[in-house]
Amino acid sequence: MTFGLDIVVVVFVVLLILLVISGVKQVPQGYDYTVERFGRYSKTLQPGLGFIVPLIDRIGRKMNMMEQFIDVPSQEVITRDNATVTVDGVAFFQVLDAPRASYEVSDLDNAILNITMTNVRTVMGSMDLDALLSQRDEINSRLLMVVDAATEPWGVKITRIEIKDINPPRDLVDSMARQMKAERDKRASILEAEGERQSEILKAEGEKQGLVLAAEGRREAAYRDAEARERLAEAEAKATTVVSEAVRTGSIQAINYFIADKYVGALKELAAAPNQKVMILPVEATALLGSLSGIGEIAREAFGGGGSGGGAGPGGARTGAGGDAPAPRAPGGASSTRSAGDRSASSSSSAGRPSNEEPTVGPWGSS
């Protein structure tokens, strides 16, 4: 009898121990356990060590509280401009409320997948193909907003929805490639025309600046030339004044020098003319030599202080007793009308001339 009682006590103790152990629950990190009492939700066990009432409470759902993802399979979508494209994507979500995620919806993953696919067709079907291909960020944000609002009663937070691939039909891709090529050709033509236009504008601006600078240069040159002519005229006027003063005071050397300078300058211009091949000079070479010798005599008289009133005059002509010289005559006078024999006779004559023959007059007097 005592042995049988001991066995009952041992069995009771073992059962009690097992019962107590069954009321202790260890919840891993990242999970929440729901506790049901008589089939009804009563509480949630957080990660760590938890206790339930044995035989009355039981673990209902073990919810993963970490962020999870679901692949959205490929599906065909018809856009607003009746283009058919194939799209797929991925959705990320996280359970925030374990009891609602457990008891508000059945098969949470499948529910999130279906609502995501439905909204993909809705959002992308309201857009044109061009916007569909170029505005993925807008598509993702609109999908996230719509799906997150739909899953909020389930205690789920949709963190991201990303469209992975958008595949139009092959013929549509070829058409888009041709359109893109035409558009790029158009841009290239526009840029080329714009470049040529800019080049022509710059070239015209350069020519304009060149013409303006050339005109300014010509104006400056004309101004300089006018100034030079003015100064030359002033110098000639001053020289004429000096010669006039010398004539008034009776200086025949100044008159002879002035006439000789003009004479030599005229010969220089005749010799330098590009259209002159043959020159017939209305003077004799001896007259020019006499002019040069007259200039030398003037220099000697001016710087040497020599020469009296009865000395030899310029050009080899002797002055009279009173110191007066014959009046000079312009080059090209009667000497140019005489015959060759007269010129020969006059040049060979060294003393006087016949009384009926007019003497040859050079720039410095009688020769």
Cβ neighbors of 258 (< 8 A, separation 6 or more) are 239, 243
Q: Do 154 and 202 lie in a common domain?
A: no
pLDDT at 367: 38
The residue-averaged pLDDT of 129-137 equals 87
Q: Quote the crossing angle between the two packed helices 252-272 and 285-304, to the nearest 10°.
A: 140
Per-residue pLDDT, averaged over 128-151, amounts to: 90
CATH number of residue 161's parent domain? 3.30.479.30
What percent of the chain stands above pLDDT 90? Answer: 31
Say how many C-beta atoms besides its own lie within 10 A of residue 227's C-beta.
10
Closest among 148, 149, 152 to 160, alpha carbons compared: 148
| Cα four-point dihedral sign 208, 214, 216, 218 | negative
156, 108 contact by CB (below 8 A):
yes
Total of domains in the chain? 4
- pLDDT at residue 360 above 70? no
Residue 147 covered by a domain: yes
Q: Which residue has the higher pLDDT, 190 or 362?
A: 190
**Which of 66, 93, 121 is the endpoint of a domain?**
66
Angular region, 72: left φ>0, alpha ψ -120 to 50, beta rest: beta
| 131 pLDDT higher than 80 | yes
Mean residue pLDDT of the chain comes to 76
* The two structure tokens encoding residue 195: 């470049």
Return the pLDDT at 287: 57
Q: Same domain for 133 and 91?
A: yes
In terms of DSSP bridges, do strands 48-51 and 24-27 run parallel, antiparallel, or are they unpaired?
antiparallel
Q: Which two tokens stand for residue 76?
A: 């065909």
Residues 78 and 148 in one domain: yes
What residues have CB less than 8 Å from 152, skipping those under 6 apart?
Answer: none
Mean pLDDT for 257-265 is 73
The reply to whether 237 falls in a domain is no
In this prediction, residue 278 has a pLDDT band, given cuts at 50, 70 and 90, of low
pLDDT band at residue 152, thresholds of 50, 70 and 90?
very high
DSSP state of 282: S
The range of the structural domain enclosing residue 76 comes to 68-168
pLDDT at 245 over 70: yes
Over 60: is that where the pLDDT of 229 sits? yes
> Once rounded to an integer, what is the mean pLDDT over residues 212-229?
88
* Residues 110, 32 within the same domain: no
Cα separation values, 70 from 30, 88, 112, 115, Å: 18, 11, 8, 12
**289 by DSSP, 3-state: which?**
helix
CB atoms within 10 A of CB 352: 7
- Do residue 47 and residue 89 come from a single domain? no
**pLDDT confidence of 47, banded at 50, 70, 90?**
very high
Tell me if 222 is assigned to some domain: yes
> What is the reported pLDDT for 277?
53
Residue 182 lies in a domain: yes
pLDDT band at 158 (very low <50, low <70, confident <90, very high): very high
Distances (CA, A) of 79 to 76, 126, 130, 346, 349: 10, 6, 10, 123, 126
Q: Who has greater pLDDT, 260 or 146?
A: 146
Mean pLDDT check: name the lowest of 105-119, 195-209, 225-239, 291-305: 291-305
* Predicted confidence (pLDDT) at residue 347 exceeds the cutoff of 50: no
Q: Are 160 and 175 in the same domain?
A: no
77 and 161 part of one domain: yes
Q: How far is CA 242 from CA 257, 274, 316, 320, 363, in A?
A: 12, 34, 25, 26, 19
Instruction: Among 120-134, 212-226, 272-286, name the one with the lowest average pLDDT.
Output: 272-286
Q: What is the pLDDT of residue 19?
A: 84
Say if residue 115 is in the same domain as residue 218.
Answer: no
pLDDT of residue 252: 67
- Whether 15 is in a domain gets the answer no
Task: Tell me if 8 is assigned to some domain.
Answer: no
pLDDT band at 83, cuts 50/70/90? confident
pLDDT of residue 298: 59
Q: Evaluate whether 295 touches 257 at the Cβ level (below 8 Å).
A: yes
Q: Is 241 contained in some domain?
A: no
- Indicate whether 77 and 123 sit together in one domain: yes
Residues 159 and 148 both lie in one domain: yes
Whole-model pTM?
Answer: 0.50
The answer to whether residue 235 is domain-embedded is: no
Question: What are 164-206's pLDDT values in tens digits?
Answer: 988 888 888 888 788 888 988 999 999 999 999 999 999 999 9
Q: pLDDT tens, 58-78? A: 999 999 999 999 999 999 999
Residues 295, 218 within the same domain = no
Q: Are residues 361 and 260 in the same domain?
A: yes
